[in-house]
Amino acid sequence: MKFKCGVLTFITIATVLTGCQQLTVLDPKGPQAERLASDILLTMGIMAFIVIVVLALLIYMLVKFRASKQSPSDEPPYIEGNAWVEAVCVGVPVLIVAYLSFVSVQSNYIVEATLKGYEDQEPLVIYASSSNWKWHFSYPEEDIETVNYLYIPTDRPIEFKLYSYGPITSFWIPQLAGQKYAMSNMVNTLHLAADEPGEFMGRNVNFSGEGFAENTFNVTAMSQVEFEEWVEEVKETADPLTEKKFNDLLEPGHLGQMTFTGTHLEFNPPPEENGSSETATSNDESKN
């Protein structure tokens, strides 16, 4: 009976696991995401090694020092401590934490800096602002704006300017870069690039109210030529974005994908990059 239960359990686990898809965070399509994925795999490898060593030592101790192997007359020696055991138990964890800290700090500087291999290219600047519960993407150079979807060219650095018209959100495209917060009254900068064409999922990963679960957007990476063709098509077919329309978009709720000519940056500029804004300044003056 126990054998049958074991077989059924194994079959069930195997069946469930065959339906699992690869984690998108471990399927990078850009240099920033690739660096982060390598750090995750490194951490997982170190943790797996620790677990295997600890389990091996546990099995060794259970077998070597089991009660049936000892004579009833044996009396274990009195030991106050062992310097080598204490050094290993304390030193090894310290070394592991120190190494992972070094790797994390190094990776942080790498992903925050200008993309390696793209230093000579002019980045495409996109202002990504969030509101309850949608994302607004402004292309100032192209003079267009989209809602809840994003088109970017491949093999070109992308520079996102992140801020929020509501609660704090976190901008994340798992296959292209790590997450970064978008807040009101300040602008955060995120660098990324797509190495190959494709469609990716982006979302807000910071809880921001009842509509948080559907606060997502689609990302499409395409060649530079296709991107430019898309920009021209938008300019010919999309309606202009007015201040009234944008204010309506800021109202809490969910929307589908929308496209406009012009951007809200003209009549509703983003906060300054040093973390201050006209609103914050006026509030400070009123307090004084």
CA atoms 104, 35, 217, 156: torsion sign: positive
Q: Strand ranges (DSSP E) for the chain?
A: 124-131, 134-139, 144-147, 149-153, 158-164, 169-172, 180-182, 188-192, 198-204, 216-222, 239-240, 258-261
User: Is residue 26 within 8 Å of 40, Cβ to Cβ?
Assistant: yes
> pLDDT tens, position by position, for the chain (288 residues)?
544 555 455 455 544 444 445 678 899 999 999 999 999 999 999 999 999 999 999 999 888 877 776 677 777 677 777 888 889 889 999 999 999 999 999 999 999 888 888 888 999 999 999 999 999 999 999 999 999 999 999 999 999 999 999 999 999 999 999 999 999 999 999 999 999 999 999 999 999 888 899 999 999 999 999 999 999 999 999 999 999 999 999 999 999 999 999 999 999 999 976 444 443 333 344 333
Alpha-carbon distance values, 203 to 36, 106, 153, 181, 211 (Å): 18, 26, 19, 12, 12
**Alpha-carbon distance 36 to 177, whole Å?**
8
DSSP secondary structure code for residue 171 in this structure = E
Q: Which two tokens stand for residue 125?
A: 């600047």
Residue 224, both tokens: 């530079």
Closest CA to 128 of 156, 155, 149, 143: 149
Give the separation between CA 37 and CA 39, rounded to whole angstroms: 5
Residues listed for the chain: 288
